[in-house]
Amino acid sequence: MVVCASNGQFHSYVNPEQIDELIDQADTILWLDLQNPQDEEIDLLREEFNFHPLAIEDATRHHERPKLDAYENYYFMVFYAIGYDTARRRLSGQPIGLFIGANYIVSVHQGEITTIDETIKRWQANAAEFGQDVGTLLYTLLDALVDDYFPVIDQLAERVEDIEEQIFERYNENALQDVFGLKRDLLQVRRVVAPERDVLNVLIRREVPIFERNSILYLQDVYDHIVRITDSIDTYRDLLSSALDAFLSVQSNRLNQIVKVLTIASIVLMTDALVAGIYGMNFDVMPELHWRFGYPLILMMTAALVLVLYRNFRKNRWL
């Protein structure tokens, strides 16, 4: 639990029981960050802030969709931090529950989210710049969260390119599983990013008076980033489905090659075997058998046959 209040100066630690007094002081801005909240911290939300039970439930439950709910004196927002574990090639999405009041922000989440810590530090370092405005503080957080999406998208883009290379340059049968895994990740990111775009749209249209007029411009910027990300995701999904089709086609092509080899080898070997079979027959009268150079002649004939067939296949562009 990090409680952090500013009224000109900063108090990095605040006694929880003073919270209700602090939020009554209009010149104080309070940020309460609850990581892996315990029951007594949840009680704090209920007793000191008087938050609605539904909002508290949403904040502590996992897998909530990004959204913005209006309550009487505050807003409740769900936003996601997205990370990408390059080693394990796994996406992770951490929901953050945000209560936004006139002069406070309460953030609730499971596990550490460095972006929140950094935003708080940035605020402490530049208190003057942030002023007395919760909107600026929130924008800084959202902007930082969304900026963290770009490296994730870049990782996904790299995987798309890797898959293309696996399909077209060095054929790898596991490309298929990569395609499927990547599609799953793209769907997962999309499920987070698309409703976040809607949340930001609501904020921009000023349907919710958290932000002052002149900070809408900054929010528009975050919105533009989210739109760019959803654009990218849709493009990658489109490319992936083409990649899958291409993979099927490359597979089919390889089959053609293998069957071609089988066909050519069968024809050549069977023809030669037929010649050998003919001279293995036991007819009384087979003049060739008694020729002096019958055997080498026949061997040369079979070799010649191989050449003729080879040329023929070459001419028909089978080889």
Q: Does 217 bind a second copy (CB under 8 A)?
A: yes
Name the 3-class secondary structure at 226: helix
Two tokens, residue 218: 């900054």
Kindly state the smallest distance separating residue 249's Cβ from a second copy, in Å: 5
Q: Which of 41, 64, 148, 162 binds a second copy (CB under 8 A)?
A: 64
Q: Is 252 in the site for a second copy (CB under 8 A)?
A: yes
Q: 242, 307, 308, 311: which one contacts a second copy (CB under 8 A)?
A: 242
**104: enclosing H helix or E strand:** strand 104-109
Decide if 5 contacts 20 (C-beta within 8 A). no
Task: Report the residue number, 50 or 241, with the smaller CB distance to a second copy.
Answer: 241
289-308 residues in contact with a second copy (CB under 8 A) are 289-295, 298-299
User: Which CB, 292 or 315, lies closer to a second copy?
Assistant: 292
**234-249 burial string, b = 16+ CB within 10 Å, else e?**
eebbebbeebbebbee
String of contacts with a second copy for each residue 70-109, x by CB under 8 A: -x--------------------------------------
Which range, of 9-17, 80-88, 113-121, 222-230, touches a second copy by CB under 8 A? 222-230
Give least dist CB 15 to a second copy, A: 31
Q: Please list, in sequence order, all residues whose beta carbon lies within 8 angstroms of the beta carbon of residue 240, skipping any fewer than 6 positions away.
A: 160, 163, 179, 182, 183, 186
How many C-beta atoms lie closer than 10 Å to residue 266's C-beta?
A: 10
